[in-house]
Each structure stands twice: as C-alpha cells, then as structure tokens.
Amino acid sequence: MPAQPPNRPANRGWDPDHLASALSIATRYARSGARRLALSRADQDDLRQDLLLNLLERQPKFDPQRANWDAFVTLVCRRAVIDRMRAAGRAGPVREPGIDLDLLPHGSSLTQPASGDLCCRLDLARLAHELPAAPARLLRHLQATGDVHSVQQGTPQSRASVFRRLRDLRAWLACAGLNPSTTAAYERVDQTAETDSAPRT
Amino acid sequence: MSTAEFAAETFGRPYLPDLPFMSERDFYRAVAAATPGSSVTYHVGMLAVDRDLLATPLSSEQRRTVHEIAHRAAQLAATGWGFLVQRRLGTARFAYELVIARRPLSKRSARAMLTPPELLAEAA
C-alpha cells in the first residue's frame, strides 16, 4: 500500500522579494490590528506571527494569473485581522470566579479593588497634596475612574505620554512607600478561586 | 576640551566613578524608608561627568540610571521632600546626598483631612 502523502501545503519556497513584501505587509497589518484591539507589544508580535502562519497556509492557493503577490498577501492579512477582531468581539461574558463572601473583609468591594481599602484611599488623598501638579492630577484622575484604560480614553494625550506619566507617578508612589499592589483580601480570593478550579484527584 | 579631558588634566588622573551604582528601585526604597534628617547617598563620583552623554565613562544603561536617579532627587528636592547636598570625599570624588526633609505633617494633615470628609466620616 503506497504511503499517503502528508496533508500539508507544498513548501515551494518564497523568493526574497515575496518574503520581504510579506513581512512588510504582515507587520503593517499586525500594527493596525494591535491598535484596534488595544494589544500590547508582545501580543502585536504574536498577531504578526499568526498572520505569517496564515499566509504560509494559504500560499499554495496563490494564482499569479489572478492578482499579484502583494494583493494576495494584503487580502490574506486583512481577512485574518478581521477574523481576529470578530473573535475578540465574540469572546462572551467574563468568567465569574467562585467567591466566598466570608473571606472578604467588611466594606470591601469586588468591583472597586483600589478604592475599597479605606486606609489606602486616605494615604493616597494625603499624598496627592504633596505631589507636583502633573502626577497629583493623574493620581486623582486614576482614583476617580479606577482604571488606566479610562484615563487613557479620557485624555487627548497619546498613549505613550499617558504611560510615561504613569511611570512617573509610580516612582512618586514608591518614594512615598506606597507600592501599587493588590490587597490581601483579593489575593486570598484569587487563591481560593484557583484552588476551587484545580482538578481534584 | 571635553569634561573628561578637563577632569583628567585638573586632577592628574583619568576619572573613574565608584561602582556599583544604586538602582532606581533601591533609591525609591531608601527614600521611602528614610526618616527626616537622614540622608540617602544616591551617587559617588562626579555627577556632572557621569550624566554627560559624551564625557561619561559609563555604559549607556548605567548613565541612564544615574541620570534618572539624579533627576528624581532634584524633583524630590524641588517638591520639598528633601535637600540636595554634596560632600567632598577626595580628589574628583563627591558624595551626592538627598537629606530627607521633615514634611509638614500638621499642615499636610490639615489640608488632607479637609479634602475627603466623607472618607473620615466613613472611617469614624
């Protein structure tokens, strides 16, 4: 019985021009997709790899009689980014972890982790009076919204500028002895959720 | 004449800073842990030479760290968290220190406590 050929596209090899244009177009579409999906730099690199893999899979379907290589690569990358955005939109509701309410201290909130700690709120309110104007404004903005993404959305500044100011604020907080971290209550809840979801033997 | 050449000519030997340097995180921790009146030595050597892009004998990463720490110390002093002083240790060798200031606790508390009355009511 003859051996069955592997169900893989034949590796015909790309000439350097095709490879260069594919890398360039995939990088451009990965950057565009990362901007729309608010991805980090590492996720952007992953998206670029996904686009190139997608291209590698569809490369046997390329027909030079129908279109040139750049048009083919553009079409494949665009479709892959659109599929990725649709998949992100279909992600569904956030998984709810199993929470034992008895573990939470009195007055704490699951939806407001940073402002749930009264001592932390008082410390930050005191510190805001001792900071220079720009970090103090950012700290108050963060306390009001409770979310870096909301701060970034609510300011006309670029994302890089916001994160530069955020880094500066972190340095001020560290100098004041206030290191941003989750509260002990939330760490306990996370540990409990992990224990509950762990497979039992 | 560059700063390094000037230092070499003035002090009779090429300038070499003290190693290793304090990292940014170590500096923040030291400032956070320091009591008023105590000092945090954030650099030993010649800060102007070490911060200079062309004259520095340091690597770019070391120069960036020294620059960031010196910039942060200047900001802390400008905001009233401390005072910048330098002590001469020897030829071409200075200790750059941030003396932690006594922060106006009563005034600070008075101002801060006026701001979030709802928090204090909640605390009470």
Q: Say if residue A118 is in the same domain as residue A183.
A: yes
Same domain, A130 and A193: yes
Q: Which domain does B89 fall in, by range?
A: 3-123
Helices marked H in chain B: 3-11, 24-33, 47-51, 60-79, 105-114, 117-123
Q: In this complex, do B119 and A132 lie within 8 Å of one another by their Cβ atoms? A: no
Residue A6 lies in a domain: no
- State how many domains chain A has: 2
Any domain includes A190: yes
Cα distances (angstroms) measured from residue A4 to each of A7, A59, A60, B40: 9, 22, 19, 73
pTM of the model: 0.52
pLDDT of residue A184: 42
Candidate from B76, B103, B115 with C-beta closest to A125 = B115
Cβ–Cβ gap A174/B25 under 8 Å = yes
A84 shares its domain with A125: no
Query: In this complex, do B33 and A177 lie within 8 Å of one another by their Cβ atoms?
Result: yes
Domain limits for position A26: 16-88
Q: What is the mean pLDDT of each run of 10 residues along chain A (201 residues)?
A: 50 76 92 86 88 90 89 92 83 56 59 58 79 87 80 79 88 82 43 48 39
- The pLDDT, as a whole number, for residue B20 is 66
Nearest CA in chain B to A124: B112
Residue-wise pLDDT tens digits, B24-81 = 889 998 998 888 888 999 988 888 888 888 878 888 888 899 999 999 999 999 988 8
Closest by alpha carbon to B7, among B92, B96, B95? Answer: B92
Please check whether residue A4 lies inside any domain of the structure: no
A126 touches chain B (CB under 8 A): yes
Quick one: pLDDT at residue A88? Answer: 78
Number of folded domains that form chain B: 1
CB B63 within 8 A of CB B82: no
Q: Determine the Cα–Cα distance for residues A137 and A36; give it in Å rounded to an integer.
A: 28
Q: Could you tell me if residue A7 is inside a domain?
A: no
